[in-house]
Amino acid sequence: MKNIETIKDKYTSIIYNTNNLKDLDKVRISAVGKKGEISCMMQEIGKMSIDQKKQMGPLLNSLKNDIINQIDQKKKELENIAIDKALENESIDMSLPINLSEGTLHPVQQVMEEMAVIFSSMGFSIALGPDIEDDFHNFTALNFPPGHPARDMHDTFFMSSKNDEIKKVLRTHTSPVQIRTMIKDEPPIRIIAPGRTFRCDSDQTHTPMFHQVEGLYIDKGIHMGHLKGVLMDFVSKFFETEVEVQFRPHHFPFTEPSAEMDVRYERIGSSIKIGQGGDWMEILGCGMVHPNVLRACGVDPDEYQGFAFGMGVDRLAMLKYGMPDLRDMFSSDTRWLKHYGFGALQQANLATGLS
Ligand code: DAH
């Protein structure tokens, strides 16, 4: 058997001279791995006489432990060096000048911020929910009965699931955030919920991923008058001009009564002028929260009422900023982003104008 001290010195020197984690792992395998040198020496103990075993056993064990300790120690050192190096490379020089002509805020982000500014001035706060939802929050609690055709109407992307798992979907609307908020918080509730939504649909005015902003207002004695007031105030502030609107009866499973809100508009050539003209364009769905929805969330409909609304952010961005095709929004074309994007440091606010 080779001299234990010689082997110890050999690995101590190899470990000392190793300067990356990959090589260190190779050293570990060649020394104490299953077929490593020290492991093989330990296997030979079996062939020894009892006296030799008594002598060599503890020596080999201590050699193995010593080498493992040295490797662990070295590993920690190398990991620390790697972290220091990464931190050095990732540090930001705050004194560098900002190149404001590169990098822009996407119009969808801009419009969401404009909406947040307007609704927060009315006392709404922001709530968020997950992109991957379960059937309960996306449909059942929102008063879509099982097997109801409205579930298909939503062109839902279903996630594959094993038999016993709860069926998951990519949320088809931001309305499930209403459910999550009402289950979590006590009324009064005043939230908007911006976020990504998904439906299996694609053409000039539809993309499989799009954005919505949901609104929910729950309190005592709330009625359609409050709903109309809030939404009329919102559109005038959003389009930064007086906008005439109409509420048309509609059906949504989660509201009763339900309506769609249209704004007056006119098409001049290829551009659209909001607030004037003889045509009406639908921009959002709304209604009084259905008592079944309140009950599903543990809210007593005899005590509390409320209204809800939901609107497509991308469509509103198109209308306000005049993009002709919705699909361009998500094609990551830097020429488009430069043209339609907003200054990264521009902050939407009601005092100096939204955009
Ligand atoms: N979730 C509806 C949709 O995606 C939009 C909507 C309509 C939301 C009416 C609401 C509402 O909260 O009250 O088509």
CATH number at residue 332: 3.30.930.10
Domain boundary (89, 120, 140) is at 89
Q: How far does the centroid of ligand 1 lie from the alpha carbon of residue 141, in Å?
A: 14
Kindly state whether residues 84 and 118 are assigned to the same domain: no
**Residue that is last in its domain, among 55, 89, 123:** 89
Report if residue 352 sits inside a domain.
no
Q: Is 351 part of any domain?
A: no
Is 94 part of any domain? no
Q: How far apart are the first and last CA of the chain?
A: 82
Backbone angles phi, psi at 322, to 5 degrees: 70, 40
| Per-residue pLDDT tens over the stretch 6-40 | 999 999 999 999 999 999 999 999 999 999 999 99
Query: Do residues 22 and 127 both lie within one domain?
Result: no
Compute the distance from residue 283 Cα to the ligand 1 centre, in Å.
11
Say if residue 44 is in the same domain as residue 189: no
Domains held by the chain: number: 2
Q: Are strands 189-198 and 125-126 parallel, antiparallel or unpaired?
A: parallel
97 in a structural domain = no
- Is 296 part of a structural domain of the chain? yes
For atom 8 of ligand 1, the residue with the nearest CA is 310
Q: What is the mean pLDDT of residues 321-325?
A: 80
User: Alpha helix locations (H) across the chain?
Assistant: 4-17, 21-32, 37-43, 50-90, 107-121, 135-138, 149-153, 176-184, 224-239, 291-296, 313-321, 334-340
**Do 70 and 113 fall within a single domain?**
no
For residues 198-227, give the mean pLDDT: 92
- Answer for the pair 170, 159: CB distance below 8 angstroms, yes or no: yes
User: What are the backbone dihedrals phi and psi of residue 207, each rounded to the nearest 5 degrees, phi first?
Assistant: -130, 150
Q: How many whole angstroms from 347 Cα to the centroid of ligand 1?
A: 28
Of the candidates 123, 296, 286, 126, the one whose C-alpha atom is nearest the C-alpha of residue 219 is: 123
122: nearest Cα among 243, 262, 232: 232
Same domain membership, residue 117 and residue 233: yes
Q: Cβ(306)–Cβ(219) under 8 Å?
A: yes
Tell me whether residue 95 is in a domain.
Answer: no
Q: Is the pLDDT of residue 334 over 90?
A: no
Average of per-residue pLDDT values in the chain: 90
Take residue 291 and report the two structure tokens written for it: 């008592």
For position 9, what pLDDT does the model report?
Answer: 94
Beta bridge partners of 214: 193, 310
Tokens of 168: 């998951």
Pairwise pLDDT comparison (107 vs 100), residue with the higher score? 107
Domain shared by 117 and 66, yes or no:
no
Q: In whole angstroms, what is the distance from residue 249 CA to residue 260 CA?
A: 6
Q: What number is the average pLDDT over the span 98-118?
A: 87
Phi, psi of 92 (to 5 degrees): -110, 135
Is the CB–ligand 1 distance for residue 214 below 6 Å?
A: yes
The answer to whether residues 110 and 46 belong to one domain is: no
**Please, which pLDDT band fits residue 1 given cuts at 50, 70 and 90?**
low
CA distance 320 to 281: 13
pLDDT of residue 348: 75
163 against 257, higher pLDDT = 257
pLDDT of 304 > 70? The answer is yes
Q: Which token pair is 127?
A: 């709530």
pLDDT of 97 reads 77
CA–CA separation, 157 and 197 (whole Å)? 10
175 lines ligand 1 (CB under 6 A): yes
pLDDT the model gives residue 349: 75
Rounded to the nearest angstrom, the distance between the alpha carbon of 351 and the centre of ligand 1 is: 30
Share above pLDDT 70 across residues of the chain, in percent, rounded to a whole number: 96
Q: Is the same domain home to 291 and 173?
A: yes
- Please compute, for residue 247, the number of CA atoms within 13 A of its CA located in the half-sphere on the CB side: 17
Which residues, in sequence order, are CB contacts of 222 under 8 Å at separation 6+?
A: 288, 304, 305, 306, 307
**Lowest model confidence (mean pLDDT) among 48-52, 63-67, 159-163, 188-192:** 159-163
| Residue 165: inside a domain | yes
Q: Band of the pLDDT at 100, cuts 50, 70, 90? A: low
Query: Which range (163-167, 171-175, 217-221) has the least confidence?
Result: 163-167
Q: Which domain does 12 fall in, by range? A: 4-89
Comparison of pLDDT for 122 and 1, the residue scoring more: 122
The verdict on 81 and 163 lying in the same domain is: no
Structural contact between residues 292 and 148, judged by C-beta atoms closer than 8 angstroms:
no
| For range 296-308, the mean pLDDT | 97
> Tokens standing for 258?
């339900």
pLDDT at 318: 87
- What local confidence, expressed as pLDDT, does residue 16 receive? 95
Query: Looking at the predicted structure, is the pLDDT value of residue 355 above 70?
Result: no
| 41 and 134, same domain (yes or no) | no
Please tell me if the CB atom of residue 309 comes closer than 6 angstroms to any atom of ligand 1.
yes
pLDDT at residue 346 tops 90: no
With 70 as the cut, is the pLDDT of residue 238 above it? yes
More confident residue, 325 or 112: 112
Least Cα distance to 190 among 326, 65, 308, 321 occurs for 308
Tell whether 166 is covered by a domain. Answer: yes
Q: Indicate if 139 and 169 belong to the same structural domain.
A: yes
Q: Distances from the Cα of 135 to the Cαs of 140, 158, 191, 200, 302, in angstroms? A: 6, 9, 22, 17, 27
Per-residue confidence band for 211, with pLDDT thresholds at 50, 70 and 90: very high
Question: Are residues 18 and 165 both part of a single domain?
Answer: no
CA neighbor of 326 nearest in space, from 334, 335, 316: 316
Using the atom order of ligand 1, give the atom closest to the CA of residue 174.
Answer: 1
